[in-house]
Structures are given as structure tokens and as C-alpha cells.
Amino acid sequence: MLSPKLYKNGHAYDLFMRVFGFEASVERFLSRLPITVPEGGKILDTGCGSGTLGIHFLQSGNRTSLLSTDLEPNFIDAAKKKASRRGIRADRMNVGIADISRPDLITTIDQQAITLEKESFSLICIGAVLGYAKSPESSLQCLVELLQPGGYLLNLEMCETALGKYVCGRYHYHNISLERMSQILREDCEVTSHSMNWQHFPACMTRTAVIAKKNAPSR
Ligand SMILES: C[S@@+](CC[C@H](N)C(=O)[O-])C[C@H]1O[C@@H](n2cnc3c(N)ncnc32)[C@H](O)[C@@H]1O
């Protein structure tokens, strides 16, 4: 059930997440988080997997747009299919390839290289991907630079329970501690932690959330 091969096939991953109720429990949790995306705001979901996080917030407004990126094209394909199943207009969602080590460098589907503009996103979502970065610290700093002042970074991270650590080991996921993550984010953001409870089963077994709201520049 926890074969590392699951992370190689976006469609199998998506099916697994849906059939075992993981996706629904994540979305129940996301709905109660104190995150608002202004109309017209841009969302980035990097290491998007089958797209759940970014698509959830995209659906909370009509004029928001989403850029979903992943290292694996087949995950991007699975994310696009999810958006289409949910009736989201194709022009509201862009996709691209990006390594979490440099989340600002995107290769589009038609092979164009793009550098994302600093302070251009209202919301950045990451989930269980930072531990694949060469330096999670620099990736976090890069993501914060991409956030507009007042914007949110949501990290739906692996939790530090025994099961969370077991799953990380199984998937060769080497993250920094949640404490270190918060310490880095606090340099430019107000940081809060949000634990899941049993209403968010089964996601509560392996995930927890850190939200960072970027401070306005000091005068
Ligand atoms: C556990 S899944 C998480 C998916 C989604 N963010 C979520 O919260 O459900 C990890 C994702 O990270 C992607 N990934 C692995 N290494 C990566 C890297 N170096 N850069 C970007 N994405 C990567 C995988 O392809 C996979 O889609």
C-alpha cells in the first residue's frame, strides 16, 4: 500500500488519494483554514501532485487563477484532469514543470523557460514536497519572495508523529523540522500552526499545516 512507486504515477496517486478518502479529508481541513484569496488573485501550487491544494482554493473564487507545477509531467496531467472533472475553465489554470529547489523557474508545456515575478502570488501552496529540495531553507525563502505582502504560504506538511516519520522514510523524504521551518518563515511572515483532528481522518495521520502570512514592508 505504501509503495514508493505511487509517487511515480500521478493517476495512480490521484486514485489512491480519492479512494482512501485522503483527498476529501484534506479538503475538509482546507475549508476551515484562515486563508482568503482576493478576487483576481494568483495561486501557485508547487509540487502539486494531483493538484488538490491549488484546485481547492481556485474553486473558492471566480476570478482567481492557478499555476500548478511539479517535477513529473504525469502528475501535472493528473492535476489538469482533476480540474477538468470539477468543471474548471481551462483558462483559469496554467501548468508547468518546476523543481522545488528553484520553484521560481518554470518550463511551460511548450518548453518555454519562465522566471516567476517576485511578490506576484496571493497564495502559495506546498504539500509534502519541501523535503525533496536540495536546500529546503532556500526553497522556502524563494517561495516567500514570490508572495505579495499580505499573501499566504500554506505548507500542508508531513507531521512529525511516528507514522509521519515512517511514511517520510518510505518515500525518501528528508525535510527540515517544523520548528526550523517556522523560524525561517518568521523572518518575513506571521506564522501559525494548524493541526488536523479526527474529522480529518485519514489525512490527520500524516499531515499538519503551517500557514505564513507575509508582512507588509516596514517603512
Ligand atoms: C507527496 S506528493 C504531494 C502532492 C501534493 N502537494 C499534496 O499535498 O498532496 C509529492 C509530489 O512532489 C513531487 N516532487 C518530487 N520531487 C520533486 C521536486 N524535486 N520538485 C518538485 N516536485 C517534486 C512529486 O512528483 C509529487 O507530485
Neighbours of 163 (CB within 10 A): 11
Write down the pTM of the prediction: 0.95
Report, as ranges of residue numbers, the positions in the chain whose pLDDT lies below 70.
1-7, 219
Between the alpha carbon of residue 38 and those of residues 42, 121, 208, the distances in Å are 9, 11, 24
The pairs formed by 31-37 with CB atoms below 8 angstroms and a separation of 24 or more are 31/56, 33/154, 33/194, 33/209, 33/211, 34/192, 34/211, 35/123, 35/152, 35/154, 35/211, 37/61, 37/64, 37/122, 37/123
Residues 20-78 pLDDT 10s:
999 999 999 999 999 999 999 999 999 999 999 999 999 998 899 999 999 999 999 99
- Can you tell me the distance from the alpha carbon of 140 to that of 100, in angstroms, rounded to the nearest whole number? 9
Mean pLDDT of all residues in the chain? Answer: 94
**Ligand 1 proximal residues by C-beta, below 6 Å:** 7, 47-49, 52-53, 70-72, 75, 99-100, 127-129, 132, 156
Mutate to test the pocket of ligand 1, among 105, 132, 167 (most ligand atoms within 8 A of CB): 132
Residue 4's pLDDT is 54
Task: Name, in order, each residue with C-beta under 8 angstroms of 94's C-beta and a sequence gap of 6 or more.
Answer: 65, 66, 67, 68, 108
Nearest to 27 by CA among 154, 164, 176, 183: 154
| Structural domains of the chain ordered from first start | 4-213 (3.40.50.150)
Mutate to test the pocket of ligand 1, among 15, 71, 140 (most ligand atoms within 8 A of CB): 71
Residue 1's pLDDT is 39
Nearest protein Cα to ligand 1, atom 7 = 127
